Structure formats: C-alpha cells, structure tokens
Amino acid sequence: MDALISAGRAIIRSPSIAKPSWSSGKHKKLPENWTDTRETLLEGMAFQLRYLGVTLVEEPKGEELSAAAVKRIVATAKASGRKLQKVTLKVSPRGIMLYDSASDQLIENISIYRISYCTADKMHDKVFAYIAQSQHNETLECHAFLCTKKKMAQAVTLTVAQAFRVAFEFWQAAKEEGTPRYFVNKEGTLCLVDLHTRQVMDIPVCLLPHS
C-alpha cells in the first residue's frame, strides 16, 4: 500500500499535459479554467469512451510500464475482433465510476486511493489508461479506454489527476485543522467528509495522521 500511495502522490507532482481547448461530443464544453474549478469535479465529470480491456502489471506506476500494458491490451482487443463496449466513465474526488452506456448499469466503482497512475498513451494517442489496485485482491491492473480523439484522452487524464489533487486537499485540510472528519461506512471503508461541501471520499488508512 505504501507503494500505491507514493505513486498517487507522484500524480500530484507530475508535470501537466499542455491544456487544450475542446468540446467533447455530447458533453458541455469545458471552461477555460476547468482544471482549477473544484465544483465541476465535485459534481463528477462524465466521458463517453470504449473499453479496450485490462491486463495485470507488476508496478503501480511508470510510463514505460503503462505503455507496454496498453500495447498488450490494444493487441488483444484487435486480435479478438470483438466490438468494443461503450462505457461512461465518471470522474470525481471519490474516484472513477464506470457504467455501461447502453444499460446505464454500474460496472465498477474505483475509489480514488486505489488509482496509482493515469496516462494518455503516447503511441496510441487516443487511448486513456489508468493503473489501480484490484478491489478483490492485491493485484495491480491497467485498464485502457479508446477515446474519440487525442484531446479527449488528454482531458480524461487531466481530470483524474485533478480529482486526486482535490481529494488530497481534503485530507490535507483535515489533518492541518485537526478536525475529526473520519468515519467508517457500511462497507467498512474509512472515509473523510468535507464539512463545507458535504463531499465524502474514501481514504487509505496509511494516510491518516498518527496520534
């Protein structure tokens, strides 16, 4: 878990991709300062993508590691000849929620602290990918998605990185103020509440200040 948190902090420190201006298909055009707007993220930002697939990885982060994983996923998807599943990927400081676009059924809900790396792949520039710890075991998985264009892949990557920053700010503020805002939900996950916005997010135990 320490390696996962270290990788997450690397997302915060990583250099940003050049901010493009774009309109994203069915979605509203994003404001110029969208990466600085907390309210947009708190509501959750949705992207219409196609799911390429998943593969296991050995490390929680790394450009070469993720590029190799994406290459494997793309090759497998092409070889299968199957039609890619249309999905809606919703990003917020709580994490990523993945829905089937046709049925609107929830496929997966990934807590923000499980995500250790996200990227707009350089070779396959319409592909967005993230690495996260499996919710069922301790393995690390790389999930890849095909976007309609390169700018969309960059948009999703920037959105996930910014969501991590906002989540980290919540935790940092609570730690500095020393205000008890922690509780355990019915699933047994430790959570943090922003008392101003009432936003709730999952946090890893290892990030809590020790008494």
Give the total number of structural domains in the chain.
Answer: 1
Q: What is the pLDDT of residue 174?
A: 64
Q: What is the dihedral of CA 108, 17, 27, 47, to 10 degrees?
A: -10
Rg (CA), the chain: 17
Q: Does the residue 64 lie in any domain?
A: yes
**Can you give the residue range of the structural domain that contains 60?**
2-178
Residue 196 lies in a domain: no
pLDDT of residue 162: 87
Separation between Cα atoms, residue 2 and residue 15, nearest integer Å: 22
pLDDT tens digits along 29-41: 444 454 455 566 7
Q: Is 208 a domain residue?
A: no
Task: Indicate the pTM of the whole model.
Answer: 0.68
The reply to whether 202 falls in a domain is no
In a domain, 6, yes or no: yes
**String of b and e for 82-97 (b: at least 16 CB within 10 Å)?**
eeebebbbbbbbbbbb
Collapsing DSSP to helix, strand or coil, 100 comes out as strand
Predicted pLDDT of residue 195: 54
- State pLDDT tens for residues 128-181: 999 999 988 889 999 999 999 999 999 999 999 888 888 887 777 766 665 545
The CATH number of the domain holding residue 101 is: 2.30.29.30
